[in-house]
Amino acid sequence: MNLSGAGDPAPHPSGAFVPGPRAEREPTGPGRLAGVRLAVKDLIDVGGTITGGGNPDWASSHGEAAADAPCVAALRAAGARVVGKTVTDELAFSLEGENAFFGTPVHPLDPGRLPGGSSSGSAVAVAWGEADLALGTDTGGSVRVPASFCGLHALRPTHGRIALSGVLPFAPSLDTVGWFARDAALLRDAGQVLLGGSSAPTPVRAPLRLCIAQDTLALASPEVREALLDWARRAGLREERLAFGEGEGDAAVAQEQGTAPWRDWLTAYATLQGLEIRTHLGPWIRARRPRFGPAIAPRFAGALALDESIGARWRAWRTDAARALRERLGQDEAWLVPAAPTVALHRGADAATRNAFYDHALALGALAGLAGLPQLVLPLRHTQGLPIGLSFISAPGHDERLLDLAVALSTA
């Protein structure tokens, strides 16, 4: 059934929304989000519409959602109005923001750049002003990267804080529902709703102590690294931490020889994500033999070819590494890390550039992903006319404190 009542509007040059009739829904109650326009990634259920997952064969083999996902229902109950479903990279398997079937949403500042994915449409809808708030999903960086590329406020929450029912599963032990906004106050208001807060005024919480995750900066391009360090110097950050853990010997030599600690985080993340994809999407892929775009097909083929026997080693590694990271992080700190290793990539970036970006972005994203941490992104720096996401990770459950930090830094 078509409940939108909006017909099929002419496509906007942003390309943020799924082609066809808009899935528009009125709010179901009053609240702190009254008047807020909400866009929803097409991996998240909106009742009465098909969750297409960015792939036409997935869409044609699945029926309409019977109800809104709980995250959508909560925002509508707080007064938000759904203005449409947004384009996603196919079944979430990308960080670039391209879709071979529905097009690439247009970067808000430079149409020659990629918006970042897989929550590309959600980020672009907010950045272009077509929505005030947008839901995305984040497994390895799919909210954090487009927020950085497009200059938005965003949060990847602590794993498990927001229910994943009504969300297309990708790698469930890593999947989260995140959100974008153009200003920190709305980001926090939405968080108050999504994280189960009351309607009372925001309580006063002790501020987090800000530190620099020094080893993560080695994965950033020179211009991103310098912009983040410049902000840190101006903000008076002095304390340094090691996010990836202690390495052996000289860090530069380790990087050159491929023995830097971040490579284990990358391998663990890629392996465990691939095995979960094999479990949750593999049966449908084998039965349906769907069409995938040329960049996406080899990724799914690689995941389905993984040997399950390697999983035990990397699950044990994850348990130990995540525990050690949480112990290093402590209860009252937030660590500055790059939200993405580069500014927005050129649409015509070659394979070597994309591969290097992917490795560094996934390694950075794996910190919060494998350890279940919340991560905040703020658009407080630019270089060459393009945004750089200033990002902080903190201990599990400190989502609200990170949202307070967003407001404090954005108004400082």
Catalytic-role residue among 142, 221, 391, 394: 142
Catalytic-role residue among 4, 41, 122, 148: 41
In a domain, 135, yes or no: yes
In a domain, 165, yes or no: yes
In a domain, 285, yes or no: no
Note the pLDDT of residue 258.
Answer: 54
Q: Give the closest residue to 114 by CA, choosing from 253, 246, 15.
A: 15
Angle (CA) 8 149 97, round 5°: 50
Note the pLDDT of residue 9.
Answer: 47
Note the pLDDT of residue 200.
Answer: 57
For residue 118, say if its preceding peptide bond is cis, omega within 30 degrees of 0: yes
In a domain, 67, yes or no: yes
To the query of whether residue 142 is one of the catalytic residues in this protein, the response is: yes
In a domain, 324, yes or no: no
Residue 388's φ and ψ, nearest 5 degrees, are: -130, 125
In a domain, 351, yes or no: no
Domain that holds residue 139: 37-194
State the residue for tokens 């750049």: 113
Report how far residue 88's alpha carbon sits from residue 16's, in angstroms, rounded to the nearest whole number.
9
Give how many domains the chain has, as a whole number.
1
- CATH number of the domain at 50, please: 3.90.1300.10
Note the pLDDT of residue 384.
Answer: 87
Q: Give the closest residue to 34 by CA, choosing from 83, 77, 68.
A: 77
Give how far the C-alpha of residue 171 lies from the chain's centroid of Cα atoms, to the nearest Å.
Answer: 13
pLDDT tens over the chain, length 412 residues: 223 333 444 456 899 999 999 999 999 999 999 999 999 999 999 999 999 999 999 999 999 999 999 999 999 999 999 999 999 999 999 999 999 999 999 999 999 999 999 999 999 999 999 999 999 999 999 999 999 999 999 999 999 999 999 999 999 999 999 999 999 999 999 999 999 975 556 667 889 999 999 999 999 999 999 999 999 999 999 999 999 997 544 444 445 445 699 999 999 999 999 999 999 999 999 999 999 999 999 999 999 999 999 999 999 999 999 999 999 998 899 999 999 999 999 999 999 999 999 999 999 999 999 999 999 999 999 998 999 999 999 999 999 999 999 999 998 7
Note the pLDDT of residue 330.
Answer: 84
**Going by C-beta distance under 8 Å and a sequence separation of 6 or more, which residues neighbour residue 394?**
208, 329, 333, 334, 335, 373, 374, 375, 376, 401, 402
In a domain, 122, yes or no: yes
In a domain, 259, yes or no: no
Catalytic-role residue among 118, 120, 122, 391: 118
To the query of whether residue 41 is one of the catalytic residues in this protein, the response is: yes
Q: Count CA within 13 A, CB hemisphere, residue 67.
A: 8
